[in-house]
Amino acid sequence: MRLKFINVDENNKNLLENIELKKEQKNMVDLPIEAYEEAKKYKYSFPIVVLDETKVIAFFIYESLNDNFTDFLVWGFIVSSQFQHQNYGTQIMKQFLLRLNNKYKLKRIEIAYVPGNTIAKNLYRKLGFKKNGKINDDGEIEMDMNVGQ
């Protein structure tokens, strides 16, 4: 896997059209273009598309929860349907977390999943996220990871 993380902006947002959702995912996640538009409302949100070679395989947004860039929220994470169950989700998140930790003085990361989405729950748990007992405004179960520093 040769993963490439690209910031999404108005000039390349058409890449998001390549992310395909399975029928059952459509009620668990926003369409990438909708999530991208939502992200524009937040000062410190960064939409990312992930490529393997030239193929668009995933999308997510990370957002700093403070001006110090120590606490982050990851949302809108979706691996395109044709690339699921090929270990992309794990590899993307591992590489992303490493990049985030190298770029910022990372202390804590939050992520959430829709109840019933056991694939997301298990992926996040495997990466080290733990339930924090909270449900967000969208009814998703929150998890977080304390990184340290």
Residue 149 has pLDDT above 60, yes or no: no
Number of domains in the chain: 1
User: For position 72, what pLDDT does the model report?
Assistant: 96
User: For position 148, what pLDDT does the model report?
Assistant: 66
- Give percent above pLDDT 90 in the chain: 72
In this prediction, residues 20-25 reach a mean pLDDT of 78
| Three-class HEC string of the chain | CCEEEEECCCCCHHHHHHCCCCHHHCCCCCCHHHHHHHHCCCCCEEEEEEEECCEEEEEEEEEECCCCCCEEEEEEEEECHHHCCCCHHHHHHHHHHHHHHHHCCCCEEEEEECCCCHHHHHHHHHHCCEEEEEECCCCCEEEEEECCC
Residue 147 has pLDDT above 90, yes or no: no
Is the CB of residue 100 less than 8 Å from the CB of residue 107? Answer: no
Instruction: Give the count of alpha carbons within 13 A of 62, CB side only.
Output: 23
User: For position 94, what pLDDT does the model report?
Assistant: 93
pLDDT in tens, 39-95: 999 999 999 999 998 899 999 999 999 999 999 999 989 999 999 889 999 999 999
Average pLDDT, the chain: 91
Q: Say which CATH number the domain at 43 has.
A: 3.40.630.30
- Both tokens of 48, joined, read 């990312």
User: For position 93, what pLDDT does the model report?
Assistant: 93
Q: Which residue type occupies 99? A: R
In this prediction, residues 13-26 reach a mean pLDDT of 84
User: For position 26, what pLDDT does the model report?
Assistant: 66
CA distance linking residue 122 with residue 131, whole number of Å = 11
Of the two residues 88 and 147, the one the predictor is more confident about is: 88
**Domain interval for residue 107:** 3-146
